Amino acid sequence: MDCGNGVRKLAVRYSASDSPFVIDGDTRYTEYESNGNRHFAVTNKDKDSLTMRIIGIDPGTGIMGFGVIEVTAGKTVLVTAGAITTPPHTPLAERLEEIYTSLQGIIEETKPQLMAIEKLFFNQNVTTAMSVSHARGVAMLAGQQAGLSIEEYTPLQIKQTITGYGRATKKQMQEMVRLHLNLVEAPKPDDCADALAAALMCAVMNRL
């Protein structure tokens, strides 16, 4: 999907069409508090069950993974997932603008209440860390302006929670995300799986 200026959002490979997010006469918002934050979820009057949508973000300037999950009465399903990519030779400001615009559209379309994003992990590659920090800021701005509650987790926290092992490999993470969401195949690319893992982590931390 072309997002303009050479930026494209990868085609969504994973969706949960059997669990649409529909606001109509049979649905209402419910306010609740979790981790000191106030959230608005959707409650179906007939089932009287709380429905929460979470968007997970794996930040990056070249490729930003995203994944939206929906949790209802302890059942977690995939809503959509994919990645936003930008060409490396485009000016940074333009790349960040396109990431922001694309993410705004995804949030508007899927209507999550929470955003889970990886904390910045500094390694020896300072240039990469700075690039990721720019993308994180843009993603958090999009979430904040949309009224989402934003929660941050370290890669170690996410791996420990999702796989039970803080040094899990990418392949192990993908497989556990697949199992948690009952998918036929593991999410790809890695950025997409990492984003979904962050969303699952958020669901666990908020006891959804």
Give residue 144's region: left, alpha or beta (phi > 0; psi -120 to 50): alpha
Q: What is the pLDDT of residue 122?
A: 65
Annotated binding residue at 24?
no
What pLDDT does residue 110 have? 97
User: CB pairs under 8 A, 24+ apart, for 26-34?
Assistant: 34/206, 34/207
DSSP code, position 10: P
Q: How confident is the model at residue 45 (pLDDT cuts 50, 70, 90)?
A: very low
Domains of the chain in start order, with CATH, are: 16-48 (no CATH), 51-206 (3.30.420.10)
Lowest mean pLDDT among 47-51, 80-84, 97-101: 47-51
Task: State the average pLDDT over residues 104-121.
Answer: 94
Beta bridge partners of 25: none
Question: What pLDDT sits at residue 57?
Answer: 98
18 carries a ligand binding annotation: no
Whether the CB-CB separation of 155 and 121 falls below 8 Å is answered with: yes
For 123-161, what is each residue's pLDDT tens digit? 657 778 888 999 999 999 999 999 999 999 999 999 999
pLDDT tens track for 72-82:
988 999 999 99
Candidate from 29-33, 61-65, 143-147, 169-173 with smallest mean pLDDT: 29-33
Q: Is the pLDDT of residue 21 over 60?
A: no
Spatial distance between the Cα atoms of 61 and 75, rounded to a whole number of angstroms: 32
Predicted confidence band at 49 (pLDDT cuts at 50, 70, 90)? low
Q: Is the pLDDT of residue 193 over 50?
A: yes
Beta bridge partners of 35: none
Task: Tell me: is residue 97 an annotated ligand-binding position.
Answer: no
Residues forming the active site: 58, 118, 191
Q: How far is CA 170 from CA 15, 81, 162, 188, in A?
A: 22, 17, 12, 11
- In this structure, what are the phi and psi dihedrals at residue 8, rounded to the nearest 5 degrees? -135, 145
Of residues 2 and 113, more confidently modeled? 113
